[in-house]
A and B are shown apart, each in its own frame.
Chain A
């Protein structure tokens, strides 16, 4: 499956090709910057096992695009059957994807999309729609609290990161037209500690915060600490809406400290396995497979929590 391109007969023997029934898949992960990411990695590693007919080559790019490009190049040289990766950035993949294409290796994107004019460079994208997540959160807020003149603060993710930009955009578009107003917005870098400090600052500054929208659970959990320290009750005095639905967040939702969580599902392993098999078998696959993200309120969370994997 993998003899082509400018590469001189690169390591056909290591991959073995699909003909022996085992699919060699090179996966380049963004990094390990969060619990969400760790769950994502684990899901992939647990699914793409030898038992399931895969040989997984995994590498961690440490959040560096150059490492990721290098890893992909190395997979091309090694002649894997399929390459999959979660791009660090949306842009700048044309060249390396072109190389993969001319080497005849199909590419699958996970979690984050790439911004490329040429859609034939990759087979499929599996992941969540961050804008949609923001919208879901916003819609719930509007549905619940419109008309009460809610003042919201926003804890943004890392400045410049795609999920932060998209979730903000989605949330803002959803609350447009309602009387929910974002009175302050600051980055908490997706972490608990910064979520807490920023929330403390908001509480110092504003006396009348009704709602917190955090771009992920961790910052929301940090905000809970700050709210409690200020002598208020999270979930009641100040409502909290977050995205991700990791275990800790779900627990807080069950405990009533968070009011609503939009899921961002990290368990992409099974989907990836399925698509990879199809691609190698030469079947047509959908260009864009949006993972179904649920949303939880307290009742739903109570139900889901016991079986939560991450």
Chain B
């Protein structure tokens, strides 16, 4: 479309992929040129991940051609793709938690000595890669012991090992916070300048604008077009992606009415000195009805751990909790649920989805579990409930009988949200609920959270995206080094203020 300075290193034309009866991709083109960062944009379920998987040989396209370096190819799988210089970080973290960080980075390109693995060199090289990504973790530690964000960074490290001509990053930033993202972008730019072609998927528009040179937009499995980033204003991009204008987004801007809570009411949930050894330091926290409390902090600051203590996912070993003034013991998730507390884990794959069940079953799971097995929900009621959430959250495909594992990442997240909303909780703890969710849906979810709060629900909201936290929280608790360090009013808080607190008074 524009000046053809360099020939594309990857050229996909007329790609179609079918999952009968769904046609996930329909005649899509993609051109990746060396030395560019190319964003792949589209709503949840638009077909971004599928396109990537078609390239790397996981799905076989029914139509279309793929050329790499001008040669027509069909890769037999990720190994083959990698051997031809195409490295990929897939959407869900796909590493082996049982292996060490070093192995996860180096396996496949491991240094050898006397025909066997050279462990020391492996750790050393892995450390170099980690360092480049700004990660200071022990390469000999096991990957599973690290948080999801760290794992995501490790996955990126792995992709950059060896000589890669093409680097594909499917939503690499979804669980990273600003510092990590900045670091990642530095690395990406460095690679680009070395002539690597980078394909980048993200639902964060500002990130896309910050880092990408060119973008390809998909909608419903079809190609909308290829654009030069600098020439495409945000609202046009959104319009291309969702096929509507962006008033939804604007609506979300003013959703939260930050009316102060009436003085003297008892908190819905009150934690006093709650803590757990090796997890979060004892903290106090009060949550009131109709209030959204945001948790802010750096990666690894302990937000998730705090949330888990509040919801019985982990058992606290210090402190008390009171629910509506009465002492309450949150020993198991079930006990918390019976008190009306719901928790969506940040680890969608590991602790969220039951991927072998259908959308319908996943949505009713929480509600049904609470009713007990002997009182099945009437089928009619289930169908209505499921249909209403599919509609309300825009879950796609809108088929209650679809297996959850066949849904796109963002849609799986919506299903999880529906599962918890269906239980009509009094306190909803959302850990990264908008991870991997497209702009439109994200705005919907923010609006939903605000509406729920307005109806009297109490919400704890965790997000790696600070603006989001600022935008919808009445109050913000700030964590640093697994300790609650401050609590500020959401209404008056500014970004800088919070960033200062997070970083520890600007000391960094």
Q: Do chains A and B touch in the complex (CB under 8 A)?
A: no
| Residues in chain A within 8 A of chain B (CB atoms) | none
